[in-house]
Structure 1
Amino acid sequence: MAVSIMGAVFGLFVGLVVAGSVSSTKFEELFQPSWAADHHVHEGDVLKLKLDYYSGAGFASKSKYMFGKVTLQIKLVEGDSAGTVTAFYMSSDGPKHNEFDFEFLGNTTGEPYLVQTNVYVNGVGNREQRNSLWFDPTKDFHNYSIRWSPRQVLFLVDDTPIRVHTNLERRGISFPKDQPMGVYSSIWNADDWATQGGRVKTDWSHAPFIASYRGFEISACECPVNVAAAENARRCTDDGSRRYWSDEPTMSVLSVHQSHQLMWVRAKHLIYDYCTDTARFPVTPAECVHHRH
């Protein structure tokens, strides 16, 4: 898939974002280990997280953010990765937290990886979608991005949209736009559900399982911990005297090209969509009724 022109335009607008924004590509400037630091291995500009029988590993951003774009370049676990999950997500704190998830579900050798996305709003998730990919994510690094504006949440793979979650507050549906979020990634054992519904378990004879990272990028509005959430929300959106990229209409809706890309992904690579799971949801979730994608 061709890289959208919108990606270049996005970069221009990020460069114009003013006070309160942060943009960097170095792990140590943006992130720190959140658990199992002894399972982190740095090799030049590549960070490797290791999962073995004793522990997985994870890292977290040093700051929290509201609105912007976060990208990690990830090369997923090679070979038999059944039972493992490599996660990349944004999340706020507390029982009413908001969260945007990428979860890469391992599989047996020769089987395709599945990418599960999920959106939590006010502590409630259950909005899973699963996609296959149009490449082998274990052979090279690929860009995985979350783009968050007051109008939508967009999940992208190599700048190709795979999911959009639109602000439908006008329909009385809550949207995550008032809680600063941290950025996180981890690798862990989830063989009770991750591969074929938990039927295939982790084969520890293949450990350690390695997920590799590089190209850490956060272009977003940084939220000081001593500032109230409401004030951060005001700071990180347009107040009439300055413009943030996330307030630009061209950055908050899909371009025609992106819409076509998303339709292609849904037609060729969508494996599961909670919106059509009538067994779990006899009554169609409200946002599914109104979402165009």
Structure 2
Amino acid sequence: MKNFFSSKKFVSTAALLAIVASSQVSAASISFGGVAAGDDSGLTSEFLADPSHAMNDGANGFFVETFDVATAVDGAGPGDTQYNAAGAAGAGCAVNGTGSGIVITSSTNGFGVRNDDVNNGAAAPANDNTCYGHTPAIGGDLPAWVEIDYSAFLASQGDFGITYLGFYWGSIDEYNTFSFFSGDDLVTEIDGETLTNAANAGNQTDPATNRYVNIDFSFADAFDRVRISTTGIAGEFDNIVIGLASRPVPAPAGLAFLGLGLLGLSFSRKFKK
């Protein structure tokens, strides 16, 4: 960050206000990275290197979804198993947090949770040997989508917003899209077409198409609902981590800049006398 006070020149009040205004404007930013997960599920957020521990309720700033029963909300028992694949493929899998105000909706047969691969149906992200989510469910109609709505969960947390989301995106295809909403307003969107090319799209092992995605939001741009959609088979994802932040106090730095600007004008007038 530049040091606004390194210059010996006076900065006008108008310029200071412009600086303050510009510093408060920020949009969602997207980066890639992640670290090796400690539960044999490939990659997870660097903020939470081991998603095998019990999922928290947001009190420490993060909330985790690994689609494994082991990450059920503390004291709330196992998660929702209604989306599990039939038979052994769904053993130990669950959608967690639904009892905490997280609501899952989907198109008809638009969402499934499993722990294996199905040819022309779904494939776990690279090096992920645990449960993962996918859209559509095996045999589901296309296009397909699943939505995770955090509105009620956020309401229970008080004046908090989701200012970070990370997720492991497996075998990225051009036709997979993650859309983030605040109410009915689209905040930002990321699709597989911007990350892949025809040569490697959909590859189940290529690091270029199995990436941990980090998205940072300002509080003003915080989202409360994410929609994962696809027009082909399939969209796979795991290790969703959301970061919560409280609403920032009106920036005292802005008032300080304004005060310094007015002080500068005062000194300037004295020197002119």
Quickly name the TM-score band, shorter chain normalised: 0.3 to 0.5
TM-score, structure 1 normalization: 0.39
Tell me the TM-score normalised to structure 2 length.
0.41
Bigger fraction of residues in strand: 1
